[in-house]
Structure 1
Amino acid sequence: MRRRDFLRAAVLGAGTSVAFGFSVTRQAIAFPAVVGQSPYGELLGPDANGIMLPKGFTSRIIGRTGEQVAGHTWHGAPDGGACFADGDGWIYVSNSELENGDGGVSAVKFDSAGEITDAYRILSGTTRNCSGGPTPWNTWLSCEETDRGYVFEADPWGVREAKQHPAMGRLTHEAAAVDPERKVVYLTEDEPDGCFYRFVPTTWEDMSAGTLQVLADDNGGLAWVDVPDPSAADQQTRDQVASARHFDGGEGAYYSGGTCYFTAKGENRVYAYDAAGNVLNVAYAADEVPDAPLTGVDNITGAAVGDLYVAEDGGNMEVCLITPDDVVAPFLRVLDQDESELCGVAFNPAGDRLYFSSQRGTSGASSGGITYEVTGPFRKP
């Protein structure tokens, strides 16, 4: 195991003891991550787009707020995103974190060569669409980061009308991550005392009805407890279960291989919830790492090889990676955009293009958003 020893696991499900009940995977046997050498080497000087990348990687801008992308005006404050296979090409969807009903979601369609062929709106009239998550049935769950916000389900092709899902709870939604093994959807909440939830649909692939649950303490372990009133008519969902676990600023979420990874910005931590073992681990904690390269943790995604990619809201505007060997290192850095945040990290289906946005770009305003594509020799399984 080299340094990847169970005794280094920061297990939060049973006080300060170490739990051995979870299955051993490449992603789960070495927490927390420590600073090390990136598998891609050092970052080079900035390219023409002001992005520092490793050798062999290039960037391009695919959209700027207010400018045309294939005849579609790119939205302000681009945030969470995901990719969907589309024949030989793919679609990238991107949230808009604008206020007062000016948010929503746009989509960009690419052909097999990566050329943009179309762009269009798939959700409109919503507020502060921050993050969300893709589903295995090829829809996009877009989350409103506003008091008693909703989760909406949108069609990446823009053919079917988007649906509002009140059953998934009314709260300050951030991200959604689908667990097809347990047939649940994990949800984060961007509040200083936010919770970690899961939604159990009555019928799988139908989010219109089901049970909202919150992760809570249970006699030294963890339990999923039903939220009495998901509509939050009289009390916020995070305050309805006395034993609920609280996290400071829940942000991105990503599910893979039995584990839901999620970030807590106020804690500068990446958590790893082992669903089979019902154990919560700390995958990365900035305050435990000297000269931590990753701070302001926000959106998160993963590559097929097992690498996690975490975007920064603040810090020094980097997307960092955490390898299966639990090494954390910068993958890219955006210069001269200190008043922005990075978000929307997502890989195309082939895993050779990474998309992300700088929400406020060089201007520091929602009208200055920029969406990028990075191409290069990404590691494969």
Structure 2
Amino acid sequence: MERRTLLRAAVLGGSSAAFGGTLWRGAAYAAPAQPGSGPYGALGAADANGLALPGGFTGRVVARSGRAVPGTSYTWHNAPDGGACYADGTGWIYVSNSEVDPSGGASALRFSSAGTVTGAYRILSGTRQNCAGGRTPWNTWLSCEEVSLGYVYETDPWGVAAAVRRTAMGRFKHEAAAADPVRRVVYLTEDETNGRFYRFVSAAWGDLSAGTLQVMVAGTATSGSFTWADVPDPDGSPTSTRTQVPGSKSFNGGEGCHYADDRVWFTTKGDNRVWQLDLAAGTYELAYDDSLVTSGSAPLTGVDNITGSSSGDLFVAEDGGTMEICVITPGGVVAPFLRVEGQSGSEITGPAFSPDGTRLYFSSQRGTSGSSSGGITYEVRGPFRA
């Protein structure tokens, strides 16, 4: 607890320490990205776990739904979804949501410095269809309910402090969250065909109990300038938050969200797009759109969860598609990074890097069975570029 208290004090004091444990390079993304040779080369043949990986990378299964996590007595949850990693002394923690309704919630895996699982436990219970979420600079996990009038819950990855419902962050079909320590806001996506993109301006950074929910206001084009407007009634009843502000921009099925280096990226599954906002300039544009691929077939479809590495690469997981995680480089190249084979009835969820950037965690939500009880959580290790 002492280490987390010190980190929290540094963040609240305005520290410019890297968010997520690594420093991001300032890179202007070419947009929209086009297929090309990725930085890691072609995928090899699938291994015994069905993972097709580039040369030099290896994968393993760290947990399976409905089974005890190896080395522990804890039963891993069904339908693993959004996730994040946290430094824990010499090791780390990976948290994962459970997208089932009722009794969703979230669990955590604890790893030693050698990557051995040393513990597994529940960090959130009694909630519904916890899909994605996001980590905060003060090392908590925001778990989001993907249901009508859903809530955001702030949870403790160490499983010590009780989870807290953050009502002020609005009630809608929440998907993902991304914290911006520069502007001291949290960005939020909404999984509706006419969903909106929001930000929550907390009354005091580091405390999400009170603040103002705002929505992005922009034109109908795929690029331009934007502003923010207050949502009059964040409770969303009887009028939904997405319909309260005239001129707020509609997005087709908001999914993953990621912040780094004065930019925020989010995905929309209804039109297979990755959007990017230049927060300093107040502009937005497309980082990727499968309909704008100019040569060959689109390598990335069913866009869903998104995360980033210290090199500035974005890693985007597919819900369906060809069950791949694709990389989008700052130079505007999109290419497969890995593929999960034999699991066409599933989706890839929860990509997150270990604090040192050498391991990528993610899940196949329904595994080979196509059922929420068949979820598989993986680790991929290898020479990720710095």
Same fold flag (TM > 0.5): yes
Counterpart of 1:328 (choices 326, 334, 338) is 334
Could you tell me how far apart the structure 2 residues matched to 1:89 and 1:221 are? 42
Secondary structure of 1:73's counterpart equals coil
Measured in 2, the distance between the counterparts of 1:182 and 1:374 equals: 33
Determine helix, strand or coil for the equivalent of 1:208. strand
How many positions carry a matched residue from both structures?
355
SS of residue in 1 equivalent to 2:63: strand
Look up the SS of the partner of 2:161 in the other structure: coil
> Structure 1: how far apart are the matches of 2:149 and 2:334?
35
What is the aligned partner in structure 2 of residue 56 from structure 1? 56
Q: CA deviation at 1:373?
A: 0.3
Residue matched to 1:374: 380
Distance 1:328 1:66, change over 3 A: same
Distance 1:142 1:209 in 2: 17
- Superposed, 1:172-321 pairs within 5 Å as 172-217=173-218, 221-289=225-293, 290-321=296-327
For 2:28 and 2:225, the matched residues in 1 are separated by 18
> Structure 2: where are the runs of 5+ without partners?
1-24
Give yes or no for contact 1:97–1:129 (8 Å, CA) kept in 2: yes
Post-superposition shift, 1:344?
Answer: 0.2
Correspondence 1:30-41 to 2 at 5 A: 30-41=30-41
Which of 98, 101, 108 is the equivalent residue of 1:99?
Answer: 101
Deviation at 1:191, TM superposition (A): 0.4
Q: State whether residues 26 and 324 of structure 1, in contact with CA within 8 Å, keep that contact through their aligned partners in structure 2.
A: no
CA distance in 2, matches of 1:26, 1:52: 31
Q: CA RMSD in A?
A: 1.2
Which whole-Å CA distance do the structure 1 matches of 2:135 and 2:231 have between them?
A: 24
Question: Cα deviations across residues 142-188 of structure 1 (Å, max 9, x unaligned)?
Answer: 00000000000000000000000010000000000000000000000
Q: Are 1:314 and 1:340, in contact at CA under 8 Å, matched by a contact in 2? A: yes
Map of 2:12 onto structure 1: none
Percent identity between matched residues is 61
Cα distance between partner residues in 2 of 1:40 and 1:185: 32
- Between the aligned partners of 2:257 and 2:237, the Cα distance in structure 1 is 26
Separation in 1 of the partners of 2:225 and 2:67? 51
2:89 matched residue in structure 1? 87
Q: Distance in 2 between matches of 1:260 and 1:28?
A: 12
Alpha-carbon distance, 1:279 to partner: 0.6
1:19-168 map, 5 Å: 27-69=27-69, 70-100=72-102, 102-168=103-169
Q: 1:261 to 1:221 in 2, by over 3 A?
A: closer
Report the Cα offset of residue 29 of structure 1: 4.4
Counterparts of 1:144 and 1:195 in 2: how far apart (Å)?
16
CA contact (8 A) 1:263 1:271 kept: yes
8 Å CA contact 2:107–2:123 kept in 1: the answer is yes
TM-superposed CA distance for 1:221, in Å, is 3.6
| Contiguous gaps of at least 5 residues in structure 1 | 1-24
Q: CA contact under 8 A between 1:303 and 1:347: conserved in structure 2?
A: yes
- Hey, what's the Cα distance between the residues in 2 that align with 1:113 and 1:221? 47
Please report how far the alpha carbon of residue 311 of structure 1 lies from its aligned counterpart in structure 2 after TM superposition: 0.2
| Letter of the structure 2 residue corresponding to residue 338 of structure 1 | S
Q: Deviations over 1:232-257 (max 9, x none)?
A: 12111001112110100000000000
Cα deviation, 1:195-252, whole Å, max 9, x if unaligned, reads: 0000000010111100000001379742100001000121110011121101000000
> Equivalent residue of 1:280, what SS?
strand
Report the AA paired with residue 90 of structure 2.
D
* Displacement of 1:26: 5.0
* Counterpart Cα distance in 1 of 2:274 and 2:126: 32
Q: Which amino acid aligns with 1:237?
A: T
Tell me how far apart the structure 1 counterparts of residues 30 and 258 of structure 2 sit (CA, whole Å): 18
Contact kept, 8 Å, 1:26 with 1:325, in 2: the verdict is no
Once the two structures are TM-superposed, the CA of residue 276 in structure 1 deviates from its matched residue by 1.0
What is residue 6 of structure 1 aligned with on the other side? none
Contact 2:316 2:325 in 1 (8 A): yes
Cα shift at 1:27: 3.5
Q: Which amino acid aligns with 2:351?
A: V
Aligned mates of 2:29, 2:270 — CA distance in 1: 25
Structure 1 stretch displaced more, 289-298 or 216-225 = 216-225
For residues 154 and 28 of structure 2, the distance between their equivalents in structure 1, rounded to whole angstroms, comes to: 31
TM norm structure 1? 0.92
Please name the residue that 2:15 is paired with: none
Aligned counterpart, 2:360 = 354
Runs of 4+ in 1 over 2 A off after TM superposition: 25-29, 217-221
TM-score by length of 2: 0.91
Give, in whole Å, the separation in 2 of the partners of 1:147 and 1:233.
10
